[in-house]
Structure 1
């Protein structure tokens, strides 16, 4: 497939709409050209594993791999991340949560379940990519929630607690959030409202985490992220703060 020479500077959702997964894969290839051979090999292996694990997964109207590619590309291009462990963890950030049995090489009906299966999956990541990658993936993996409590509240609690002690995990998670939050306008159907409801309360949480002195990003990158958080809040407000139609409320 032929791609335009300006692919390296195109907005990622524009690449997604026009060129789909092949375009995002090419953009990823362009981004990792600056890395050494060993680093490119590790990044390629992580992308191959993510593609295999999520091969049948979809995200509304696109392959789920597109989301993972955008998270990784955003960190390299917009956040200036050159830490290969962090980018690998970005590609695999949903692997343990979505495919623990496959990742661990265990049969889905096997005896391991819940935390045990997740631990086995993380052990596989540690063996393939190193313990630091596994630790970063663990920090951005949702725990098993208490069914008796609100899931959104538990999610916010988990984000605040897990990212408090892992500065590089904040970078992965805010790229993930940006793709979900700023990208909410690219979502269709009921998921638009549910996503805005889930993610809007996290805007101040991420703002505080990114502003911390130990978050390993330059001041310019932090300002870029703050602008993206502002944009996400504007889009959430447009979705959630629309006035109720008086005629609808009275049945007219």
Structure 2
């Protein structure tokens, strides 16, 4: 497939709409040219595993792999991340949460597949990658609790002690939150309700001095959080309430 010479600067959702998964794969390849061969090999291995695990998954209108590619590309391009472990964790950030059994392989009957799956990631990509993925893996819902409150509290607690996991999470959030206008159906409202309360939590985490991003990158992220808030407000707030005020 032929791609335009400006693919490397196109907005990712534009690539998604026009060129689909092949375009995002090519953009990923272009971004990885900044890395040495050994690093590119690790990134390719992580992409292959993500492709295998999520091959049947979809996000409303698109293959789930598109989301994982955008998360990784955003970190490389917009956040200027050159830490391969972090990008690998971005590609695999949903692997344990969505496919622990497939990742773990054979496990004893009744055993929790999540620790085993994290162990597989540690064996293949290193303990640090597994730790980052664990930090962005949501625990099972606790019956009786508000799902959104549990999610928000988990994010705040798990990212408190993992500065690099914040980078993975904010790229994931940007794709889900700012990208909410690129989805359709009931998921638009459900996503807005889920992610809106997370904005101040992420804003505070990104602002911390130990969050390993350049000041200009942080400013870019703040702008994206502002945009997400605008979109959530447009989706969720009753316009009649604004008129009355």
The one-character-per-residue Cα deviations of 1:168-215 (angstroms, maximum 9, x if unpaired) are 000000000000000000010011001000000100000000000000
The one-character-per-residue Cα deviations of 1:215-246 (angstroms, maximum 9, x if unpaired) are 0000000000000000000000000013359x
- 1:216 partnered with 2:212: yes
| Alignment match of 1:111 (pick from 106, 109, 112) | 109
| Alignment match of 2:141 (pick from 131, 141, 145) | 145
- 1:132 partnered with 2:128: yes
- Across the two proteins, how many residue pairs are aligned to each other? 241
Task: Measure, in 2, the Cα distance between the counterparts of 1:54 and 1:112.
Answer: 24
Alignment match, 1:250: none
The one-character-per-residue Cα deviations of 1:129-151 (angstroms, maximum 9, x if unpaired) are 00000000000000112111111
The one-character-per-residue Cα deviations of 1:72-107 (angstroms, maximum 9, x if unpaired) are 000000000000000000000000000001101137
Alignment match, 2:67: 67
Task: Measure, in 1, the Cα distance between the counterparts of 2:26 and 2:175.
Answer: 19
SS of residue paired to 1:34: coil
- 1:55 partnered with 2:58: no
Q: Structure 1 residues 75 and 191 mapped into 2: Cα distance closer, same or farther (>3 Å)?
A: same
| Alignment match of 1:234 (pick from 207, 230, 233) | 230
Task: Measure, in 2, the Cα distance between the counterparts of 1:184 and 1:63.
Answer: 16
User: Normalising by the residue count of structure 2, what TM-score does the alignment of the two structures yield?
Assistant: 0.97
For structure 2, which runs of at least 5 residues remain unmatched after alignment?
A: none
Alignment match, 1:45: 45
User: Normalising by the residue count of structure 1, what TM-score does the alignment of the two structures yield?
Assistant: 0.94
Question: Alpha-carbon deviation of 1:63?
Answer: 0.1
Task: Measure, in 2, the Cα distance between the counterparts of 1:217 and 1:242.
Answer: 36
